[in-house]
Amino acid sequence: MTYAAITGWGKCLPPAILSNDDLATFLDTNDEWITSRTGMKERRISHVDVSELAYVAAANALAAAGKRAEDVELIVFGSTTFDEMCPNAASNVQRLLGACNAACMDVNTACTSGMYSLTVATAMIKSGVVNSALVIGAEVVSRIMEWSNRNVSILFGDGAAALYLETSEIRQGVLAESLGCYGESRDILSVQGWGLKYADKKRILGETSWAFSGQEIFKKAVKGMTQACERALAKLGLQTEAIDLIVPHQANLRIIDSLTKNMKLPKEKVFINIERYGNMSAATTLVALVEAVQEGYVTANCNILVPAFGGGLTWSAHLIKWGARTHAIAQSEVSLPETTQTGLELVQALR
């Protein structure tokens, strides 16, 4: 049996920081409210397009795996904020990397896009279509944010992460997952103005208003992720005790707490970075997974549970068995162009 081992990992966080206090300069909100209701303290705002964030994250993942761009046979790019719809964003990453042997596709399932992309790449490796893949979750939510709406604009940030996958005879990588969608609830999280549906309405593309029922999303998120975790565990006949680390989607610390309580998961096994980045949509779980490796929480051969949810309302949970190696083979020299702009300055230009 062939498995899809995760042998490389990388992230790219744009340098400009937007703090809760920055948000309070133009919204009726404050640090205490945001911290206590969400767990977030700051988030990043990108000065470049999503493909550039993705490119740097992908180059880092390739270096960590000790591979060359020519080794990549597939690029799956998960996002909701692609720079262009045609040509796709994965082809731009291919061009920037020089990954001339890679097939390229984009996947959009909102915040779960990185995890759905991981499923696509894993399945294509296991079935023998390709031998290697780069999986990307990247997002520049700031460009489609309704900045005057405090219900949503405090919650999101920009970022990117990537994984390199390759064939292995050793049982590792994604061993089971559960994916689903509450399509009947798709209207409770909707970015109005983002998509061709709005093109004839004399609206500037990207000038959005968000339909966003926070409490409904909250309940559906807990329900969806709980169900997904139970189903993924059941596929392998595992109990929660077998899980060494939980790396959940970071949309709200209280959502993570409810899920952990529902699943009777020990809090000390849950990886949290929400205070630094907020919700980076498609990038969130992959950035968290990459940081969990880089910060030593992922140990050789450990079992990782990754629950996620997003607009649609899509939900997922992946059971990942890590391999023997937890250190990067090399470091990439690729980096973002520098900027002197602050997060607040970048947001002021978008408002």
Q: Which residues are catalytic?
A: 111, 249, 279
Q: Which residues are within 8 A (CB) of 268 and not within 5 positions of it... i.e. 6 or more apart? A: none
Beta bridge partners of 216: none
Closer CB to ligand COA, 38 or 172, in the complex = 38
Smallest distance, ligand COA to C-beta of residue 273, A: 15
Q: H or E stretch including 160?
A: strand 159-168
Contact 146, 209 (CB under 8 A): yes
Smallest distance, ligand COA to C-beta of residue 249, A: 7
| Residues in 226-255 at the binding interface with ligand COA, rule: CB under 6 A | 251-252
Chain residue whose CB lies nearest ligand COA: 214
Closer CB to ligand COA, 189 or 287, in the complex = 189
Nearest to 157 by CA among 275, 326, 280, 64: 280
The tokens describing 31, both together, are 């640090």
Q: How many Cα atoms sit within 13 Å of 25 on the Cβ side?
A: 10
Choice from 15, 26, 33, 176 touching ligand COA (CB under 6 A): 33
Report the C-alpha gap between 109 and 99 in whole angstroms: 25
Site string for ligand COA, 186-205 (x = CB under 6 A): ---x----------------
Contact 78, 109 (CB under 8 A): yes
How many Å separate Cα 2 from the centre of its chain?
26
Choice from 154, 287, 289, 346 touching ligand COA (CB under 6 A): 154
Choice from 7, 20, 38, 60 touching ligand COA (CB under 6 A): 38
Closer CB to ligand COA, 82 or 315, in the complex = 315
Closer CB to ligand COA, 173 or 278, in the complex = 278
Contact 307, 259 (CB under 8 A): yes
Kindly state whether residue 81 participates in binding ligand COA, applying the rule CB under 6 A: no
Smallest distance, ligand COA to C-beta of residue 99, A: 29
Report the C-alpha gap between 155 and 191 in whole angstroms: 14
Which residue ranges make up the site for ligand COA (CB under 6 A)? Answer: 29, 33, 37-38, 111, 150-151, 154-155, 189, 214-215, 217-218, 251-252, 279, 309-310
